[in-house]
Structure 1
Amino acid sequence: MSGSSAEPIFIRAASKSNGITSIVIGAAGLAVSALWFVVLPSWLFLAGIFITSASLVALLIGYFKVREPEFSLEITKQHIVYRHRLGNWQIDWDNLQRAGCPRIRQGLTHVELETVGFKLTDYSNFLHSISPRLATHLLMEQRPLLLQNTDENCASGNCYEQTMFDDNHFKLSDGTVLTGVKAMLANRMVELRRRLGFDVYIATSDIDRTPGEFAAFIAQCQQARVTPQTAP
C-alpha cells in the first residue's frame, strides 16, 4: 500500500471456494441417481430420491458460489471497494475513521462478533456509491445485528422492529435528501453505530481470514498511507 506504484490488493471470499467442485459433485450425483432409478429395484426408490435431492443442493450451492465476483474486496491506495453480484460499495480511506470487530455484552464480559465493522466520517460518498439492489441485500443480511446490544428496558424484546425498516427521509451532509431503500440503509447505519459502534459491516464469509486479522490488516493499510516513506 506504500509507494506511488503500489498494486491493488484483492481479497477472495471464503464462501467463493469449491464452487466448481460443488457443481461437479452435483452433476455426478444426478448421473448416479438417473442410473439408480433405471437399474436398481423399486424398494431403493427413496434412497434414489435422497441422492437426487443432495445432488440438486450441491448444484445450487456451486451455482451461487460461481456467480459471485472473483474477488469480494479490492483495496487500493485510494479506497476499499466491496464487490457483490448485486453491485458494489466504496469507502475512501479519507472517509474511514477505523475498522474493527464489534463487541457485545454477555453478562459481565464483552464478546467480539464474527464480522468486521467500518466507522465512517461521512455517509455521503458511501451511499452515493452503493446500488439500490445491494442496499436492499445489506438491509436483509444485517438484520441479525439489530438484535445485538438491545435496549435492556425493552421487556418485549421487539424494540428492534421499529428500526428494522426505518424509511424516514435522510439528509446527507452534501444536502442530498435520500428516500426509499437508501434512506432505510442510512437510518440503519445510524442505528447500528449507536448499538455496535460501526456503520458498515462485512460478513466473515466475504473475507479470507478471521475478522480480527482482517481488521488488523485494514489498520495496517490505513497506517501505511499516513506514514512517510523514507528513501533508501
Structure 2
Amino acid sequence: MSGDNAEPIYIRAASKSNGITSIVIGLVGLFVSALWFVLLPSWLVLAGIFITSASLIALLIGYFKVREPEFSLEMTPEHIIYRHRLGRWQIDWDNLQRADCPKVRAGLTHVELETVGFKLKDYRNFLHSISPRLATHLLMEQRPLLLQNSEDNCATGSCYEQSMFDDKHFTLSDGTVLTGVKAMLANRMVELRRRLGFDVYIATSDIDRTPTEFAALIAQCQQARAQLKLETQSSINE
C-alpha cells in the first residue's frame, strides 16, 4: 500500500479455517452413526448417540465457519474495512491515531492482551459506518475487556454493570445525538479507552497472524500512507 493504486491487503480470519472439513467430518459421522444404529446391537446405542451428537456439533461448527465472509479485513489505501456476517465497520486511515496490543496490569508487570486495539481521532465516521446488528454483537463480544484494569474500589461489581449497560445518549463532535445501540457502543468505546487506551478492538480469531504482527502491519501501512502524502505535497509545492 505505497500508493493510491496499491492493491488492497486482505486478512482471512483464523476462525474461518477448516469450515468445509468440519462439515465433511459431520456428514461422515452421521452416516457412520446411522449404520451403527442399524447394524450393531442395542446395548451399544449410547455410543451411537455420542457419535451422532459429535457429528451434529461438527456440522454446526462448520456451518458457522462457512457463513462468515471470506475475508474479515480489507485494507485499502483509504480505509480499514472489517466484515462480519452481521455487518461491517470502517476506519479511515486519516481517522486512525494508532493501533497496538493493549496491555493490562498483572502484579508489577504489564501483559499484552490477545487482541488489537484501534484509537480513533473522531467517532463519527466509524459509528455511522457500523450496522446496528454488528454494534450489538460487539457490545456482547467485548464485555470481558471491561474486566481488565478495573478499579480497586469495585468490590461490589456495580461498576461493571453500569459500564456494560450504559445506554445514555451520546453526542458526536458535530452535534449529532445518538440513541439506542449505537449510543451504547459509543459509551462503551469511551469506557474502554479509559481502561485500555483504545476504542475499537479486533479479536485474535479475526486475523491470520499474531496481534503483535498485525499491529506492526498497521503501523507499516500508516507509515507508507504518511510518506505518500509527504511526496504528494512536495510535488505540488514544486
Same fold (TM over 0.5): yes
Q: CA deviation at 1:155?
A: 2.1
Partner Cα separation in structure 2 for residue 3 and residue 192 of structure 1 = 33
SS in structure 2 at match of 1:155: coil
Report the number of matched residues.
230
Partner Cα separation in structure 1 for residue 138 and residue 107 of structure 2 = 29
Partner of residue 98, structure 1:
98
1:185-200 → structure 2 map (5 Å cutoff)? 185-200=185-200
Q: Which has the higher helix share?
A: 2
The CA deviation string for residues 90-129 of structure 1, in whole angstroms up to 9 with x for no partner, is: 0000000000000000100000000000000000000000
TM-score, length basis structure 1: 0.97
The CA deviation string for residues 140-161 of structure 1, in whole angstroms up to 9 with x for no partner, is: 0000000000001222244211
1:107-186 → structure 2 map (5 Å cutoff)? 107-186=107-186
Partner Cα separation in structure 1 for residue 3 and residue 167 of structure 2 = 43
2:54 is the counterpart of 1:54: yes
SS in structure 2 at match of 1:227: helix
Partner Cα separation in structure 2 for residue 12 and residue 5 of structure 1 = 22
Partner Cα separation in structure 2 for residue 173 and residue 56 of structure 1 = 49
Partner of residue 16, structure 1:
16
TM-score, length basis structure 2: 0.95
Aligned-partner residue type, residue 138 of structure 2: L
Q: CA deviation at 1:215?
A: 0.4
Partner Cα separation in structure 2 for residue 4 and residue 206 of structure 1 = 26
> CA-atom RMSD, angstroms?
1.0
2:78 is the counterpart of 1:78: yes
Runs of 4+ in 1 over 6 A off after TM superposition: none
Partner of residue 28, structure 1:
28
Unaligned runs of at least 5 residues, structure 1? none
Percent identity of equivalent pairs: 85
Partner Cα separation in structure 2 for residue 4 and residue 218 of structure 1 = 16
2:226 is the counterpart of 1:226: yes
Q: CA deviation at 1:185?
A: 0.1
Aligned-partner residue type, residue 10 of structure 1: Y
